[in-house]
Homo-oligomer: A and B are copies of this chain.
Amino acid sequence: MDEIIELIRSFNKERDWGQYHTPKNLAMALVVEAGELVEHFQWLTPEQSQNLNGKTLRKVREEIGDVLLYLLNLADKLDLDPIEAARDKLAQNAEKYPVHKAKGKATKYTDL
């Protein structure tokens, strides 16, 4: 993890791209990449999305890489540890959705 963050810093420094990388712009870039990720899934059935062919899987992998790169870049700019942020959020979710109430229910999310 530390290694990839170091790589991102060098990559941007060499290209003098830090000037474009305000947190605002990085958040935008992240949602753009998330949209590209979603694109690969938009017309698939649930089953198809669980059985991607090799070509689609390679493209999805690239988009996952892109999303993570911008997420790490943004977290680095804000001096945040993303893994810790995820761990804390998961602990928060565990309180919000106790097992005995949330088990097997999509209704936690929705009121359909």
Interface of A is mostly: helix
Let me know if B49 and A22 touch, CB within 8 A.
yes
Q: Which residues of B contact A106 (CB under 8 A)?
A: 20, 43-44
Indicate whether A71 sits within 8 Å of B74 (C-beta atoms), given known contacts A23-B52, A38-B32. no
Let me know if B49 and A11 touch, CB within 8 A.
no
Let me know if B78 and A60 touch, CB within 8 A.
yes
A12 to chain B, nearest CB (A): 10
So how many copies of this chain end up in the complex?
4
Contact of A56 among B7, B48, B86, B110 (CB under 8 A): B110
A72 to chain B, nearest CB (A): 7
**C-alpha gap A63/B61 in the complex (Å):** 22
5 A–B pairs (Cβ distance < 8 Å), ordered by A: A4-B86, A30-B38, A43-B109, A56-B112, A62-B89
